[in-house]
Structure 1
Amino acid sequence: MMATRAQSRPERAEPGRSGEQARDFEFTSADFARIRELIHRSAGISLSDHKRDMAYSRLARRLRARGLDSFRQYLDMLEADNDPAEWEAFTNALTTNLTAFFREAHHFPILADFVARRPAPVSVWCSAASTGEEPYSIAMTLIEALGDQAARQATVLATDIDTQVLAKGEAGTYQFDQVKHLSPERLKRFFLKGTGAHAGMVKVRPEVRAMIRFEQLNLTDRDYRLNTQFDAIFCRNVMIYFDKPTQGQVLSRFEPLVKPGGLLFAGHSENFTYVTQAFRLRGQTVYELTRDAGAATAAGRAAQRATSGVPA
C-alpha cells in the first residue's frame, strides 16, 4: 500500500527493546499482541513472535498515512470505525506475497498428467493467487496438457485476500526478469514482449488471461459462495500462516468443492496428514480426496438438490 508520508516526527526508541534502531512510534508488547489478535480474527493469520518487526514496519506506514501518533490510536480507530477500506489496508499490510512462475515446479507435470485424464471441462482453483504467477502457470499447464482447443473450455479461479496483488495479477504484466527462467518456447507461446515505453516488460497473452477469473476471497470466511466443484485446488504456502484449528476449518470447506478423485496441492513445508482424513497424501505434497469423503460429498449434494426440488 502506497501511503502519503505525514509530517515528520522525532524518532523514539521503544522502551525495553535494547539494540533496536530508533523508531518513529512507540511499539509495545501490548500493541503487538493486539495486532496478532486482530489479524487472526479477521484473516485467520497467526503471527509468530519473530514477525514483530515486520508488523511494525508495515503498519507504521498506515499510521503516517492517517496522521496518527501511536499504534494504540490506530488500533482503536480500526476497531471503532469498522472502516472496510482500512481493514483491507491492515490485512494487505500483514500478508506475505512471495511467488514466482512455476514455483515448486514438480507440481505442474503432476497436474498436466492428471488433467489429461479428466473429463472436460477441467476447472482448477488457485486459492492464494497473489500477483498472478501461480494461476497463470496453472493455465499454461492446462494449455500444454489439453491443447489449445480443449483448454478454451478449462477455467482457473484465482482468489486472494489481498486486493492489491489481485489487481496486479489481473493486469498480467511483469518484468522480464520474472520470466527469464522460462523456456524460449513458453515465452513465445504465452507472453507478448513489451516495446518502446514498455521495453523490459512482458504481458500474458489474451487467450491465457481469458481462462482465469480473479476474485477476492478470505479462506477463513464461513461461506466461500462458490457454486462449483474443481478437479484440483492449489493452496500452497498459505496454511503455514494458520493455526491447526483454522487449517482444519479451511480443509473442511475445501472438501465439498473438490470433484471425486480430485487433487489438493500444498506447499513444500505443509503437511495436512494430521489435520484431516478427507484428503490422503499421494506424495510430493499432493493430496487426493478420499473415496469416502467424495461419496459423502456427492450424497450431500444430491440431498441438497432433492430438498430444493432440483433434479439429480
Structure 2
Amino acid sequence: MASASAALRKSQTAPLPPSDSLSDEDFLRIAELVGGHTGIRLPAGKRTMVEGRIRKRMRATGQSSFADYCHYVFEDGGLATEVTHMIDAVTTNKTDFFREPEHFDVLRRHIVPDCLSRSRGGKAALKVWSAAASNGAEAYTIAMVLADMASRERRFDFSILGTDISTDILAQARRAVYPADFVAPVPAEMQRRYLMHSRDPAAREVRIVPELRRHVGFMHLNLMDDSYAVDGDVDAIFLRNVLIYFDKPTQVAVVGRLLRHLRPGGYLLLGHSESMIGASLRLKQLAPSVFKLV
C-alpha cells in the first residue's frame, strides 16, 4: 500500500517528458503576446527559458501539455485571467542590493547635493523613482543611502516609488523579506541600522526595518503604457538594465515618457550595459549611464 501511494505521488509530481515542447506557432503567439504587453523581445534563443517558466502555469491551470495550455489561453477564453500570470512567469527580475555601486556614489556625492542646492528654502522633499523595481532591492538601497544622509544633515526628507509590471515580484518587494545571503552587499553599518533578523535562526532571513519601509511605496506600472500615473516633479529616476530588452524605437519612447516626470535638472540613471539612446532627447551625460535633464 505504501509503495502504491509513493508511486501515485511520484506520478503527480513527475516532470513532463522532454518531448513535450512548444510548437513554433505557440512560441510565436506567446512571444507576440508578451512583446505587445511589455515591449520585451523573446527571440528563439529564449524558447527553452519560456518553456520552463510556462510549464508552471500549465500545471497550475490543469493543462497536460503546452498545446493544451496554449489552446486554453488563445482559443478557450483563458487569456483574460492568464495574461498577468504569463507575464509574471516570463519576465526576468534580476536585481541586487547596491548593484552597480557607482550610481549610489553619484547619488550621494552629486545628485542629492545638487537637488538640495536648488531647493527654495525650508526642508527639501526629494522624490526618487525606481522604475523597474523588481523585488525592491534597488528601491531599498536608495532608501538606505538617503536615510543615512538625512540622519546626518537633517536638511531633507525623501520618498521613493518602486514600480514594476510583475504583480508577484511587487508583492515580494512590499513584504521586504530577503534571504540573509542576498543582503551581503549591504555595508555592515547599514545592515545593523536597516535590517531586522528573523527570530528563527534557521530561517536565515532579514527584513527591512519599518522606519525605512515608510519611505518606500510600490505600484504596478507597465512601461509600455502611453502615460504613467506618477508625479511630474521627480528628482531622479533609476531605470537600469531594462532597456536592453526593448528594441530601439521602444527604448526611445520609454525614456521620452519617463522624462515627462523629471523636474527641470532632474536625473536619469540607466544600466552600465545600456548606451545612451535618442540623441534628440534633452539629456546631458554627467557620468557613465548618468544623465541630467537640460
Both proteins in one fold, TM over 0.5 = yes
Please tell me the residue identity of whatever aligns with 2:113: A
The answer to whether the 8 A contact 1:128-1:159 is kept is yes
The answer to whether the 8 A contact 2:285-2:291 is kept is yes
Please say if 1:50 is aligned against 2:54: no
Q: Partners in 2 of 1:61 and 1:132 — Cα distance?
A: 24
What 5-or-longer segments of structure 2 have no aligned partner? 1-9
Please tell me the residue identity of whatever aligns with 2:183: V
Of the candidates 37, 41, 46, which is equivalent to residue 32 of structure 2? 37
Secondary structure of 1:146's match?
helix
Of the candidates 249, 269, 277, which is equivalent to residue 245 of structure 1? 249
Cα distance, 1:203 vs structure 2: 1.2
Q: Runs of 4 or more off by more than 3 Å in structure 1?
A: 5-12, 69-73, 82-85, 148-152, 273-276
| Counterpart in the other structure of 1:220 | 224
Please tell me the residue identity of whatever aligns with 1:192: M
Q: Partners in 2 of 1:148 and 1:77 — Cα distance?
A: 57
| Counterpart in the other structure of 2:82 | 86
Cα gap change, 1:164 to 1:151, in 2 (>3 Å): farther
Secondary structure of 2:206's match?
strand
Cα distance, 1:153 vs structure 2: 2.6
Q: Partners in 2 of 1:126 and 1:211 — Cα distance?
A: 13
Cα gap change, 1:76 to 1:276, in 2 (>3 Å): farther
| Counterpart in the other structure of 1:67 | 62
The answer to whether the 8 A contact 2:232-2:263 is kept is no
What 5-or-longer segments of structure 1 have no aligned partner? 13-21, 291-312
Secondary structure of 1:214's match?
strand
Task: Kindly report which structure 2 residues correspond to 1:283-294, keeping only aligned pairs within 5 A, or say none.
Answer: 283-290=287-294
The answer to whether the 8 A contact 1:116-1:146 is kept is no
Q: Partners in 2 of 1:98 and 1:6 — Cα distance?
A: 33
- Identity across the alignment (%): 36
The answer to whether the 8 A contact 1:32-1:52 is kept is yes
Cα distance per residue 1:135-174 (max 9 Å; x no partner):
0001111112232684873100001111111111111111
Q: Partners in 1 of 2:252 and 2:279 — Cα distance?
A: 6
Please tell me the residue identity of whatever aligns with 1:251: V
Q: Partners in 2 of 1:69 and 1:175 — Cα distance?
A: 34
Aligned pair count? 276
Cα distance per residue 1:178-209 (max 9 Å; x no partner):
12333221111111122236752211111110
Q: Partners in 1 of 2:279 and 2:40 — Cα distance?
A: 17
Of the candidates 260, 264, 275, which is equivalent to residue 264 of structure 2? 260
| Counterpart in the other structure of 2:214 | 210
C-alpha RMSD of the superposition:
2.4
| Counterpart in the other structure of 1:297 | none
| Counterpart in the other structure of 1:115 | 112
Please say if 1:95 is aligned against 2:57: no
Cα distance per residue 1:101-145 (max 9 Å; x no partner):
100000001011211331311000001111111000011111122
Cα gap change, 1:78 to 1:229, in 2 (>3 Å): farther
Secondary structure of 2:178's match?
strand
Secondary structure of 2:125's match?
coil
Cα gap change, 1:104 to 1:73, in 2 (>3 Å): same
Q: Partners in 1 of 2:84 and 2:236 — Cα distance?
A: 28
Cα gap change, 1:112 to 1:77, in 2 (>3 Å): same
Cα gap change, 1:189 to 1:75, in 2 (>3 Å): same
Cα gap change, 1:172 to 1:228, in 2 (>3 Å): same
Cα distance, 1:26 vs structure 2: 3.4
Cα gap change, 1:246 to 1:75, in 2 (>3 Å): farther
Of the candidates 130, 144, 157, which is equivalent to residue 161 of structure 2? 157
Higher relative contact order (CA 8 A, sep 6+): 2
Task: Kindly report which structure 2 residues correspond to 1:276-287, keeping only aligned pairs within 5 A, or say none.
Answer: 276-287=280-291
